[in-house]
Structure 1
């Protein structure tokens, strides 16, 4: 799966509709009988994908559904929860409830704290905006070094309120629960400079990452810069110091790799265009360079109307240590509810 719309193409394009407090009588909203604020939400997303080295085209179904609820417990203490399914996929096996962010939390004007399964602060930056459109096969899950998690269970996460243009997030918890001494710590900071540019920074440390006897760390720095006349630019640098995937769970040798992403966009009314490039440098295993660098370039044309987002994406990559570059095409439709 291409993970291309984890927060949607334009954010507001699939904004979630909120519900009002339910009385003790049935309403028209999915028949919920509760005095909690309850919300069903989801994304319908289907695309046809073709890659020139594949056996043919494939319909990729990234539809998912989730449920949220909240209620005030005390003054300035609201208890909230969420359970969200994974993508449907080819056979529905990955679409179980709880695969994506599923947690219980407390929130108020002091911020919010959550416990359970959720994105780590660093990965939230990797995922958006730097892996879209179609750059994730290199900048996200296509790297050669395991150093950070994406969505992590068994953690607690705190998200601050805004302090002027500054917000930050912290996460801590277990790494691999079956390994003694395997723990996770993550942090991210976001700063809006004079309502002009937004800076992002993230850090993650994982002792005995995924149960392998390697202490891993990663960091990312990036920016988002709106430009006049509908243009915009975003770029990031990521560094991973952990264990090499090809050496995974055998000798646990130390490895490191640098990655880059840059995305330009242009919007004219409902029409949007994105052009992105991402690259992984050759990784180093115990200080020795490996011949495993890769890159991807991808362009996407989209149209936003009444919450619907049809799009066309075309690109070329040599990800996953391929010997030659291959061309890919994706045509899809997505909407949120």
Structure 2
């Protein structure tokens, strides 16, 4: 349902008179769910959540007499549960060039490390999202880094390399502070296999401290109706309490032409005593067409004595905290409409 935004295209043409009019479109996602959430302690309530819903504009222009294409994107989070938006351009927002050399862009967007979870991400932006175990406390690696330059190689028979460098946080670099971050990945998608290997490191003066991690994710389509996924992450932080290894295994089954059943088990093995947790998520999803899908999920996090994680806090407007040492569980009925 892309609609041409002539006024924006004219604006691009004014700013870049040597180019043809940009091909500009509007897109978005409305993703809401009705959730019954129980932290195992005192909290057991029904909530309506908006789950990484967004509105965006993107466009590209073929540069005359060259093999180069200029492109841009501006994306903002929209809270469909409460009828409001976040700050303008709060999500992936960038400008860049692409051609035979590959692609280079600058702005704020998902780091290569964050994107590397995609092959195994069966419950992305839903109850049971793997980030509820991989993005804990100051060990935050699933980030959208600011002030970033990203280079991606051409696709070599399914193989691509990505290198991202976040120069600093905030509007300007600070004297004698290391606020940079490096994120790199190699991805492969060919035939029934899709995989990613990634590394990320943050400087000592970044907002969540000095940290580094390695991530591996893979998916293999055994047959048309069956897909198996696996995930591993090793995270290290200057504050040892955030060091952990996280594992995950899952599967998705196509039980009807438009209906999928999926499940995933994840374990976060924390170095800190009594801070580990396990998560189980299961769900059924029906895709009415390319734009609209509905689903039902159940997920539970089983916490060690000092851990207070939940299966619902990431990528959702419902972010109620958990209770230490308790099992947090939820049931979610959701709808996602892409336009």
1:80 to 49, 68, 71: 71
Q: Which residue does the alignment assign to 1:207?
A: 203
Q: 1:294 to 1:93 in 2, by over 3 A?
A: farther
Residue 199 (structure 1) shift? 2.6
1:166 to 143, 159, 181: 159
User: Are the equivalent residues in 2 in contact too, given 1:184–1:205 (CA < 8 A)?
Assistant: yes
Distance in 2, Cα, partners of 1:60 & 1:81? 29
Residue 136 (structure 1) shift? 2.7
User: Are the equivalent residues in 2 in contact too, given 1:155–1:171 (CA < 8 A)?
Assistant: yes
Q: Which residue does the alignment assign to 1:51?
A: 37
Q: Which residue does the alignment assign to 2:132?
A: 138
Give me the TM-score of the superposition, normalised by structure 2: 0.79
1:96 pairs with 2:87? yes
Q: Which residue does the alignment assign to 1:221?
A: 216
Q: Could you report, residue by residue, the CA deviation over 1:159-203 in whole angstroms, capped at 9, with x for unpaired residues?
A: 22211131111101224356512211111001246x232231000
SS at match of 2:117: helix
Equivalent residues in 2 for 1:226-305, closer than 5 Å: 226-244=221-239, 255-267=242-254, 268-283=256-271, 289-305=272-288
Q: Which residue does the alignment assign to 1:248?
A: none
Q: 1:209 to 1:234 in 2, by over 3 A?
A: farther
Distance in 2, Cα, partners of 1:291 & 1:69? 49
1:183 to 180, 184, 187: 180
Residue 144 (structure 1) shift? 4.6
Q: CA RMSD in A?
A: 2.4
Q: Could you report, residue by residue, the CA deviation over 1:283-323 in whole angstroms, capped at 9, with x for unpaired residues?
A: 3xxxxx32100111011101111221010001211363531
Give me the TM-score of the superposition, normalised by structure 1: 0.80
Q: Could you report, residue by residue, the CA deviation over 1:141-174 in whole angstroms, capped at 9, with x for unpaired residues?
A: 2x35526351111110112221113111110122
User: Are the equivalent residues in 1 in contact too, given 2:284–2:296 (CA < 8 A)?
Assistant: yes
Q: 1:128 to 1:97 in 2, by over 3 A?
A: farther
Runs (5+) with no aligned partner, structure 2? 11-20, 310-323
Distance in 2, Cα, partners of 1:174 & 1:89? 33
Distance in 1, Cα, partners of 2:181 & 2:206? 10
User: Are the equivalent residues in 2 in contact too, given 1:116–1:154 (CA < 8 A)?
Assistant: yes
User: Are the equivalent residues in 2 in contact too, given 1:166–1:190 (CA < 8 A)?
Assistant: yes
Q: Could you report, residue by residue, the CA deviation over 1:109-161 in whole angstroms, capped at 9, with x for unpaired residues?
A: 321111010100011123553362623353332x3552635111111011222
Distance in 1, Cα, partners of 2:114 & 2:30? 23
User: Are the equivalent residues in 1 in contact too, given 2:31–2:80 (CA < 8 A)?
Assistant: no
User: Are the equivalent residues in 2 in contact too, given 1:130–1:261 (CA < 8 A)?
Assistant: no
Q: 1:227 to 1:207 in 2, by over 3 A?
A: same
Distance in 2, Cα, partners of 1:232 & 1:65? 30
Q: Which residue does the alignment assign to 1:6?
A: none
